[in-house]
Every structure is written in structure tokens, then in C-alpha cells.
Structure 1
Amino acid sequence: MQVTGQAETQLNLEGIVIGKVVDFDPESDQLYTFDLTANNKTITLEILENTSTFSTWVEDELSAHHARYGIGGYDEHRTIYARSQHFDTAEEPRRLHLGIDIWGPAGTPVYNFHDAVVHSFKFNDQYGDYGATIILKYHINGQVFHALYGHLSLDSLQGLEEGQHIPGGKAFASFGIPEENGFWPPHLHFQLIFNMYAFKGDYPGVCQYAKKAAFLNNSPDPSPILKHTFKSALI
């Protein structure tokens, strides 16, 4: 599969009511932006090599900043992917993140921000992968795009069928525990995708830096969707 730069590059959300992706009260809840690049010297190899230790580090960071969620990662070059061979390739390792992560407790409900149908779903059960994954397909203002929800609970996949209607506002999934989410600290990987190519239940969430332009063109910044959840708290 060769991702090209021929996809649309911008979302057209004009006049559309966009709902929340997670519960968040901008009047009382705090949001903390994580830096998971090499610039963050507090993330050691010892932390990354053990999922329980990594999870505790995330929890401690959120607690120290009095934050309900951590967020960040779009177009971020992350050294943390060295923890898994899943991101290694012969020519160049994959390190550039293509979505936004929302870090929070396992079991956190995930809501559909607008009417959609199930494109596909899958349990990507490999260390470092998405774990339980759902991809929804949206038709908005004559534009078709998809949202990948990764690192979910296995229960989120129960009862799903391709083509199934998921109404806007419905809590349809939840954050998974490490054993169900690819062995990561609990969080949601939220990524927009124009062209799914031949993928079903999966799509790269991290790419090689040399292929950055094509992949970012096909996966636009999800912030225009998430700003309706986090309001002024979203940086």
C-alpha cells in the first residue's frame, strides 16, 4: 500500500454541530499537554520498557498538573516508539505520530461526535499496536472522512457490524486496559483519515519521517473536532 498526497487536506465543518469525544467540563476540568519527544528528559528507558511503570508515570504527571486528561501528539516525532518492534522497518523506523492522544483512566467513555457508520473494527493484538480499534465513516458537508479510535476496551467491539449506524452523541466505546489496548497506558488514539485505501480495522497511526507529507495530507489535524470537547482548554 502506497499512501500518496492526493487526498483532501482540510475538513469542511462549516455549519455543522460537533459533539464531544470524551466527558470534559472546561469550567472545572484541566487539560495537560504531554511532550513525548526526545526533549522530555523525564521519560527514561526504564519507564518505557515497563507498561505498568509507564502508566504510573502518566498518572503522576496528570496528578501533578491537576489534569483530568493529558493530550497531544499530532505531527510529533516521538522517540517512545522505540519500545516496540511494531514500529521498526528495514528502511526507517516509524516515529511520526499522525493522531491526537487523550490520556486518561481505563473505562473512560468515548462518544461519537457526529452521526456515522461503522467502517470496520479489529483487535490489533500486538505489543505496541492499537489493541481494540474502531473506525467510523462520516459524511459531512458532502465530504467523506473517517475517524480511527484506537486503544479501546475489548468490550467496545461487542455487537458491532460494518455499516452499522452510530448516532452522534452516543457513548460507543471506552479506553482499554493495557492487556486490551496494545500494552500502553490507558488512552485514546484519535485520528482522522480521508482515504482508507485497503485498510480495515487498522491504519498507520505512526509513519516514517520521510513519508510525513503524504501521511499528514491523508490524516489532517483532529483539533477542529476536539476543540468542541475541550473548548478553550485545548492548546
Structure 2
Amino acid sequence: MNTEKFNHFLRQISKEPTSVIDASISFEDYFPIAISSKNKDLLHFDISSSTEWELYIDSFLKKNKANVAFGGYLEKRNIYDRSTYFKNQSKEKQRNIHLGIDLWCAENTKVLAALDGEIHSFKNNVNYGDYGPTIILKHQIKKEIFYTLYGHLSLKSIENIKVGDSILQGDTIGYLGSAVVNGDYAPHLHFQIIRDLEDNFGDYPGVSSEENIAFYQKNCPNPNLLLKLVI
């Protein structure tokens, strides 16, 4: 299935918005946020500090009378400059284009399966600025197989689970982790759709360089095709 048809397929899975965090939080309490140079607020605090990020996110949510701040697909971000993990890997240029949607909200918020499926893999990705605890689900709808990735979870999210466990849409698969375990970020969920995992296990690039973005944009379609959040 080509990219255009697959995107249409994702869009048609559900007419209603899909919850990937605590379903008791109304979609009316979501508010879009930019984590790029377009957001001039980022000039006024140390973006390398997870503590200052938490203060900023809390302030942003209160200001906008929201419980969740969301966004970021294909967003070019400077925050990755703080970590060598995103620089000069295999002669690749700086990776700074975000491939998922982030949902910023409170630590320990429930993380939900977007669709029926099974646990493909899980791992604690411990590089500075990485995902921390991560779960990847495998889905098959009709003849199409694809994956969803849930990053920046708590450690307990990857305890007492195993590869192949069946998961139903809306099941609680984990909880948001703190900066201590989630790669040193303010608490949030990184949610990403992946067509071909390329033999990865419990991990997949969530950020691309400009030179590789054409491939990743096709392999990691916009998660909002499923989530249907109003931006």
C-alpha cells in the first residue's frame, strides 16, 4: 500500500478521536503547543533543564486552562542540541526533526493502547535525551501490519509484561515517567506510528535529520491521522 493509501487507511480506522492517555481527560482540555524556534517563550528559560521545562509546561497548561499540551509532528527542535545522542551518528547530520506527537501532562498519567494488538517489544532506552522506558505494539487491521511506539514511560510500565501479550484498544499499558527515568524531560508521552520497524526491538528513531526526512515521513505517518486532535 502506497503512502497516500496508507494514510487514508489510518484516517478511516476511526471517525472519533483516539485516546492514548487517560481517557477521563476530555479532549476539550487539550491545547496545542510548539516546541520549536517559533515559540518565543523558549528564549526565556534554559531548555536544557528538565526542571525548567516542567515549570514552563505547568505554567503553559494553567495559562491555557488545559490538562494536556500536544503537538510536534515534523517539528524542527533545538532541544536535541543538548545531547550528543542526536549528533553525528554514522556520519548522519544533526537529528532534530520530530517524528511523533508529544502529549505533555502530569507524571503517572495512564498511557493507553491506541488500537487492539500485541506487545511487540519493550526496552529501557537509557541514553541521555532518549525515550527511557518504551513499549512498541504490533497491530494488524485487515491485511495491514504496523506498529505504535509509546516512549518516556515509568520503569514500572515495563515490569511484568512480555512479548506477545494481547492488548485491547484503551487498555492501560503504562504510565508517564519522571525526568529521572524518561531521558531527562518534563513528563510526556511520545506517540509514534511506524510502518516498518527495520528489525528494531523496543526502540525506533523518534527524531530525523533533514537528509533522511523523506524516508521517515513515509515510514512514520502523522499520528494525528489516528488521534484526530484539533490543532
The residue number in structure 2 matching 1:180 is: 181
Inter-partner Cα distance in structure 1 for 2:121 and 2:2: 20
Find out whether 1:165 has 2:166 as its counterpart. yes
The residue number in structure 2 matching 1:70 is: 69
Structure in which a larger fraction of residues adopt helix: 2
Structure 1: 5+ residue stretches without partners: 1-5
Deviation of 1:46 after TM superposition, in Å, equals: 4.5
- Kindly report which structure 2 residues correspond to 1:137-216, keeping only aligned pairs within 5 A, or say none: 137-216=138-217
Inter-partner Cα distance in structure 1 for 2:226 and 2:162: 25
Letter in 2 for 1:113: A
Letter in 1 for 2:156: D
| Equivalences, count | 223
Deviation of 1:203 after TM superposition, in Å, equals: 0.3
Deviation of 1:115 after TM superposition, in Å, equals: 1.1
* C-alpha distance after superposition, 1:138-162 (max 9, x if no partner): 0012211000000001110011111
User: Bigger shift: 44-53 or 88-97?
Assistant: 44-53
**CA RMSD for the aligned pairs?**
1.9
CA contact (8 A) 1:48 1:80 kept: yes
Deviation of 1:168 after TM superposition, in Å, equals: 1.8
User: Bigger shift: 9-18 or 124-133?
Assistant: 9-18
Inter-partner Cα distance in structure 2 for 1:158 and 1:176: 13
- Secondary structure of 2:152 counterpart: strand
Structure-2 change in CA distance of 1:68 and 1:7 (3 Å): same
Letter in 2 for 1:105: A
Inter-partner Cα distance in structure 2 for 1:190 and 1:16: 17
Inter-partner Cα distance in structure 1 for 2:20 and 2:117: 13
The residue number in structure 2 matching 1:81 is: 80
CA contact (8 A) 1:111 1:173 kept: yes
Q: Give runs of ≥4 in structure 1 deviating > 6 Å.
A: none
- Kindly report which structure 2 residues correspond to 1:9-88, keeping only aligned pairs within 5 A, or say none: 10-11=6-7, 12-13=9-10, 14=12, 19-22=18-21, 23=23, 24-26=25-27, 29-44=28-43, 46-88=45-87
Inter-partner Cα distance in structure 2 for 1:112 and 1:122: 17
Identity of aligned residues (%): 35
